[in-house]
Structure 1
Amino acid sequence: MERLIPGFMTYLMQVKNASKSTMSSYERDLKRLAAFLDAKGVHTPEDVTATSLNSYILFLEREGFSTATVSRNVASMKSFFHYVCDSNRRLNDPTSQIRAPHIDRKAPEILSVEEVESLLEQPDPGTAKGIRDKAMLELLYATGMRVTELITLKVTDLNQRLSYVICRDGEKERVIPYGPKAQAALETYLKDAREELLKGTISDLLFVNCSGNLMSRQGFWKLIKQYAAKAGIETDITPHTIRHSFAAHLVQNGADLKAVQEMMGHADIATTQTYLNLSVNHVKNVYAKAHPRG
């Protein structure tokens, strides 16, 4: 079965226009599935049955994989066997009766506007690193982009005249506007800090680490943790917390849900609907605290 995975990866990229993160997850899921089936004596897609796939799902659950991970593995195998059937390698789809476990979606953790303001004030404006950090945090909150999109931005992805940035996730891209505070922070960074951080090297990356190279996700995560501690924020925040806060604050202030979906890059508006629910709860809490008969 594993020999068909490279062809499936090509199909995901060229036909389905899947993101790099989706392709990486699916490839990892399918290689694990192939190894499990191979150990059970199931070596070709034609030999795979619904029973063998259900056995694999039970194996994942016994191994302690989260419900979300098991659900994604089901999505991986369904997509793979749809591809196999479409390629006429087998007629019946063994995943047709397979059901993913139900996921209880928790409300995303968000910061208050005051907490975000405090966080954004923490970087030291007297150092190149602080100027860079300020620009990154301002742009992250102004656009709600994913951390991978932020650290891989190119200088050419930025349109300073019209104040928008182009975000890329694999072959997909979206245009997100940003406001004057992010604009000012970016201008200061490009004028006063980027060249110092590059240390004479040449790079098309917008943001670089202190060695002039690509910043890691883990490095940016630690950076946010440090500034959150300085700001006295007790919530255990990550870059995704700021992304969620961006969307929640937009919706709370009356932004169109479809526009928020496009800026966030959500494939399904049901995902964006979460922020509307948060907004309704926020209004209820405000009412309860402020109304004389609340």
Structure 2
Amino acid sequence: MAAPASAEIWISTFLEAQAAELGAANNTLLAYGNDLKDFAAWLKRRKMGFTEADRDLIERYLIDCVAQGLSQSTRARRLSAIKQIYRFAFEEGWRDTNPAIQIKGPGRQKRLPKTLDVPEVDRLLQAARETGRSKADRIRNTCLMELLYATGMRVTELVSLPVSSARGDPRMLLVLGKGGKERMVPLSPPARDALALWLETRDAAEDEAVANGGQRSRYLFPSRGKSGHLTRHMFFHLIKDLAVHGGVSPEKVTPHTLRHAFATHLLANGADLRSIQTLLGHADVATTEIYTHVLDERLAELVLEHHPLAKDPGVKG
């Protein structure tokens, strides 16, 4: 098959295939597109295109990325995008060879995710029960936090939950994750209690809205905004307020740190990695394995802080 005539068609065809065949998430497709457009522009300035580029040219581009001061993770991501599009081009018959297949990347710096200990989570949950302009707000905030900690959902998954998924006092919730993939997550008794109370409060407000000429929302956490549900941005600010109210450092607290806390606390209490991988919706167990490093680090800190042999012999306790 003849290769496309322009870089734009190369990129758009590749992204369409990623979306259709692999179910790639929108953010992933956007990142691939931006990285490949940068590479295409770099090639164009040298009067070259995807069809003509060879290994030497790709490596020169990566060197130029270093000269621009791009971070190690950004350079690794750009090379990954280039490798993916050339693998696709080879499979489609646009190229007889894959010029990027043997190029070694800079790798990625492994950063351990920030997490929270159990007392900090307890303080956030208590703050949710006490923080809000009205009783309905406090009930909603409690439900949001209980669900987030009980399930490890991503914040987008949480705020966009359809109310239909929460009917009937469920023991499990069906969650629509990245790439349109569904998974089931169990609910703890406190989360089920918080959900039942919020449904009662929410439905009463919906009934009143309909009586006044409004329409019912399909979302568990409705909003009058364009999306129709509570936004990630609004929830981010809410959780920071809860951190302040609960006496937890706001720098440590984001919706994602509750997801990390869910995983590390499960692991610390004996859950296996495969189960945690399924609950988090990770495509690869290698992504989940980062939590073993977090747990190892926490255990090391406990030993250094509390074991008598770890103390400086010159310091009297």
Structure 1-normalised TM-score? 0.90
Looking at structure 2, the residues matched to 160 and 81 of structure 1 have their Cα atoms a distance apart, in angstroms, of 49
- Gap runs ≥5 in structure 1: none
1:189-228 counterparts in 2 under 5 A?
A: 189-193=198-202, 196=205, 199=209, 200-209=214-223, 211=225, 213-228=228-243
- Given candidates 158, 162, 165, the residue that maps to 1:150 is 158
Q: Which secondary structure does the structure 2 equivalent of 1:174 belong to?
A: strand
Q: What is the CA-CA distance between 1:207 and the residue it aligns to?
A: 1.4
- Gap runs ≥5 in structure 2: 1-6, 311-317
Q: What is the CA-CA distance between 1:77 and the residue it aligns to?
A: 1.2
| 1:66-87 Cα deviation digits (max 9, x unpaired) | 2222211211111111111111
Find the counterpart in structure 2 of residue 182 from structure 1. Answer: 191
Compared CA separation, residues 60 and 158, structure 1 to 2 (3 A): farther
| 1:74-133 Cα deviation digits (max 9, x unpaired) | 111111111111110111111112222122212111111010111111133743222222
Amino acid at match of 2:198: Y
- Given candidates 263, 278, 291, the residue that maps to 1:262 is 278
Q: What is the CA-CA distance between 1:31 and the residue it aligns to?
A: 2.1
* Residues 197 and 208, structure 1, Cα contact 8 Å, conserved in 2: no
Looking at structure 2, the residues matched to 197 and 274 of structure 1 have their Cα atoms a distance apart, in angstroms, of 42
1:99 aligns with 2:104: yes
Looking at structure 2, the residues matched to 287 and 129 of structure 1 have their Cα atoms a distance apart, in angstroms, of 41
Compared CA separation, residues 64 and 129, structure 1 to 2 (3 A): farther
Share of identical aligned residues, percent? 32
Amino acid at match of 2:188: G
Q: How many correspondences in the alignment?
A: 293
Q: Which moved more, 1:58-67 or 1:87-96?
A: 58-67
* Residues 197 and 211, structure 1, Cα contact 8 Å, conserved in 2: no
1:250 aligns with 2:266: yes
| 1:184-211 Cα deviation digits (max 9, x unpaired) | 1111111113553794333212212365
Looking at structure 2, the residues matched to 41 and 194 of structure 1 have their Cα atoms a distance apart, in angstroms, of 62
1:283 aligns with 2:299: yes
Q: Which secondary structure does the structure 1 equivalent of 2:296 belong to?
A: helix
Looking at structure 2, the residues matched to 161 and 190 of structure 1 have their Cα atoms a distance apart, in angstroms, of 10
Amino acid at match of 2:219: L
- Given candidates 33, 40, 44, the residue that maps to 2:39 is 33
Looking at structure 2, the residues matched to 279 and 73 of structure 1 have their Cα atoms a distance apart, in angstroms, of 31
* Residues 197 and 210, structure 1, Cα contact 8 Å, conserved in 2: no
Q: Which secondary structure does the structure 2 equivalent of 1:95 belong to?
A: coil
- Given candidates 238, 242, 249, the residue that maps to 1:234 is 249
Q: Which secondary structure does the structure 2 equivalent of 1:15 belong to?
A: helix
Q: Which secondary structure does the structure 2 equivalent of 1:193 belong to?
A: helix
Q: CA RMSD in A?
A: 2.3
Looking at structure 2, the residues matched to 28 and 211 of structure 1 have their Cα atoms a distance apart, in angstroms, of 29
Amino acid at match of 1:138: E
Compared CA separation, residues 185 and 60, structure 1 to 2 (3 A): farther
- Given candidates 114, 136, 139, the residue that maps to 1:109 is 114
Structure 2-normalised TM-score? 0.84
